Amino acid sequence: MNKIPITRPYTGKEEAEAVSSVLSGGWLVQGRRVREFECGIAEHEGVKYGCAVTSCTAALQLAMLAEGMGEGMDVLVPSFTFVATANAVVATGATPVLMDVDERTFNIDVDYTEKYIRENYEQKGSELVGRGSGNRLWGIVPVHQFGLCADMPAINRLAQSYGLRVIEDAACALGAGIGNTSIGGFGHTACVSFHPRKSITTGEGGMILTNDREVYQRALELRNHGSAVASDERHSNRGYLLPEFVRAGYNFRMTDLQAAIGWEQLKKLDFILRRRREIAEYYDRLFEGKSKVIRTPYVPGGYGHAFQSYVCFLDFKEDTAAGGRRRNAVMERLDGAGVATRQGTHAVHKLDYYQKRFGYRNEDLPSADRCDSLTVSLPVFVEITKAEQEKVRDELLKAVEG
Ligand SMILES: Cc1ncc(COP(=O)(O)O)c(C=O)c1O
């Protein structure tokens, strides 16, 4: 039986030829191709600077360090997100404080967040300080989950009124926006991913998008061991000497091989985004009026969803744990019927490390808990056929209602 996969990257001979041309050119590490790719993505999203790195996880960590996050600081992060969002905060030495989410959008619940700030922090001079921890509240990392922007106008209001910084985790959201504003254009630095499950891929890869020249400059240095000079610049000008290193950095550089793939992918991005939206609309139509349990993705008016994933919420009436077992049985049955699915994502506050280190319990953030247990992501990729989508619908309905 041919299984319908959860995703299939949309690559072809253009990407293969681009890699081959880099190989025959002899410069494989970060160089001209990376710069071209950075400019192309930044232009597509309407921001000034792009800094390509090895993954979105690396992008988040660098952006956070470049913006000054570190020890003794609290950072508000939605719990229903891939663990990389919170891990990046931990890697800077700061403390991720997990927030509940909105079950309709799967994004950070801004009302919950505001209430949490009021109840848990107090103003001391120009800073908000945790009543229990003594940590300074540094900022918020909203996640544009599955390609739908978080409520950025409300987050900006909150950030402004409490003097907080914001870094957008836009791993899934290349091409997403609200009105005419794209990710990275809400006044903050944003980080995107080029993992194969995302709209376009470089194998692994990520990028920091920002309009802030200083943040950009610091990110460039941090990704290259703390050097102010890129390797190809150095080798084309007195390369026999090592450059100055102005801070302690990392090797988070993307290769020209990856960037050459990314450049070809970028040419296909608008088509891929259109196709993803078309696929999502067809699923919407297929499920319309068919089930009281299956809730298809909600898109608020004016939001441009990038549909990195098409995630349904299975609104079982049992308690969360029992509902979760039913959801797992549904995914098992679909797997047997030749349809690959995945849980939407997980709730970080339910993960072992976060429970042991920070003392979270599953019931602390009930909506994130429910999203973790009751979501199911359906196959979305450019080449999926209508017949395959119809099979996904039929099998999901059988598994849920049967
Ligand atoms: C919300 C979110 N943030 C960060 C990441 C990490 O991205 P990468 O795999 O490029 O490191 C992912 C990956 O799926 C993600 O979904």
**Of 124-133, 137-146, 191-200, 356-365, which gets the smallest average pLDDT?**
124-133
Q: At what angle do helices 13-25 and 256-287 cross, to 10 degrees?
A: 170
Rounded distance from Cα 243 to ligand 1 centre (Å): 32
- Ligand 1 pocket member 159 (CB < 6 A): no
229 pLDDT tier (thresholds 50, 70, 90): confident
Tokens of 55: 């993954």
Rounded distance from Cα 304 to ligand 1 centre (Å): 20
Domains of the chain by residue range: 13-266, 269-401
- Ligand 1 pocket member 172 (CB < 6 A): yes
- The arithmetic mean of pLDDT across residues 24-48, rounded, is 95
Closest Cα to atom 7, ligand 1: which residue? 56
CA distance linking residue 78 with residue 143, whole number of Å: 7
* Number of other CB atoms surrounding residue 316 within 10 Å: 19
Between 302 and 237, the more confident residue is: 302
> What is the reported pLDDT for 228?
76
* Number of other CB atoms surrounding residue 203 within 10 Å: 16
- The arithmetic mean of pLDDT across residues 385-391, rounded, is 98
> What is the reported pLDDT for 379?
98
**Residue 58 CA: which ligand 1 atom is closest?**
11
CA-closest candidate to residue 399, choices 318, 328, 342, 309: 328
- The arithmetic mean of pLDDT across residues 40-58, rounded, is 97
**Residue 197 CA: which ligand 1 atom is closest?**
14
- Ligand 1 pocket member 192 (CB < 6 A): no
Summarised one tens digit per residue, pLDDT across range 154-165 is: 999 999 999 999
Q: At what angle do helices 256-287 and 386-401 cross, to 10 degrees?
A: 60
The CATH class of the 13-266 domain is alpha beta
Phi, psi of 187 (to 5 degrees): 100, 5
CB neighbour list of residue 153: distance below 8 Å, 6 or more residues apart: 178
Tokens of 298: 């909600």
Report the alpha-carbon angle 66-68-71, nearest 5.
Answer: 125
User: What is the percent of the chain where pLDDT is above 90?
Assistant: 92
Establish whether domains 13-266 and 269-401 are of one fold.
Answer: no
> What is the reported pLDDT for 303?
98
Report, in this order, helix, strand and coil percent for the chain, each rounded to 5. Answer: 45, 20, 40
> What is the reported pLDDT for 237?
75
Closest Cα to atom 8, ligand 1: which residue? 56
CA distance linking residue 323 with residue 373, whole number of Å: 7
Segment (H or E) for 207: strand 206-210
> What is the reported pLDDT for 233?
78
Tokens of 138: 């540094």
Tokens of 210: 């920002």
Ligand 1: residue of 195, 342, 377 to mutate (most ligand atoms within 8 A of CB) is: 195
**Residue 205 CA: which ligand 1 atom is closest?**
10
CA distance linking residue 205 with residue 207, whole number of Å: 7
Q: What is the DSSP string of 110-153?
A: HHHHHHHHHHHEEEETTEEEETTT--EEEEE--B-GGG----HH
Task: Tell me how far CA of residue 7 lies from CA of 110, 199, 254, 277, 380, in angstroms.
Answer: 31, 10, 23, 15, 6
- Ligand 1 pocket member 81 (CB < 6 A): yes
Summarised one tens digit per residue, pLDDT across range 260-314 is: 999 999 999 999 999 999 999 999 999 999 999 999 999 999 999 999 999 999 9
- Ligand 1 pocket member 195 (CB < 6 A): yes
Please, what's the b/e burial string for 249-265 (b: 16 or more CB within 10 A of its CB; e: otherwise)? bbebbbbbbbbbbbbbb
Rounded distance from Cα 25 to ligand 1 centre (Å): 31
- Ligand 1 pocket member 82 (CB < 6 A): yes
190 pLDDT tier (thresholds 50, 70, 90): very high
Summarised one tens digit per residue, pLDDT across range 316-348 is: 999 999 999 999 999 999 999 999 999 999 999
Rounded distance from Cα 138 to ligand 1 centre (Å): 22
> What is the reported pLDDT for 244?
86
Summarised one tens digit per residue, pLDDT across range 60-118 is: 999 999 999 999 999 999 999 999 999 999 999 999 999 999 999 999 999 999 999 99
DSSP state of 224: B
Mean pLDDT of the chain: 96
- Ligand 1 pocket member 85 (CB < 6 A): yes
Ligand 1: residue of 82, 197, 343 to mutate (most ligand atoms within 8 A of CB) is: 82
Rounded distance from Cα 82 to ligand 1 centre (Å): 6
Please, what's the b/e burial string for 112-122 (b: 16 or more CB within 10 A of its CB; e: otherwise)? bbeebbeebbe
Q: Is the pTM of this model over 0.85?
A: yes
Tokens of 202: 């470089």
CA distance linking residue 188 with residue 177, whole number of Å: 13
- Ligand 1 pocket member 80 (CB < 6 A): no
* Number of other CB atoms surrounding residue 157 within 10 Å: 13
**230 has a pLDDT exceeding 80:** no
234 pLDDT tier (thresholds 50, 70, 90): confident
Rounded distance from Cα 64 to ligand 1 centre (Å): 15
Q: At what angle do helices 386-401 and 320-336 cross, to 10 degrees?
A: 140
**Residue 145 CA: which ligand 1 atom is closest?**
1
* Number of other CB atoms surrounding residue 1 within 10 Å: 6
269-401 folds as: Aspartate Aminotransferase, domain 1 (3.90.1150)
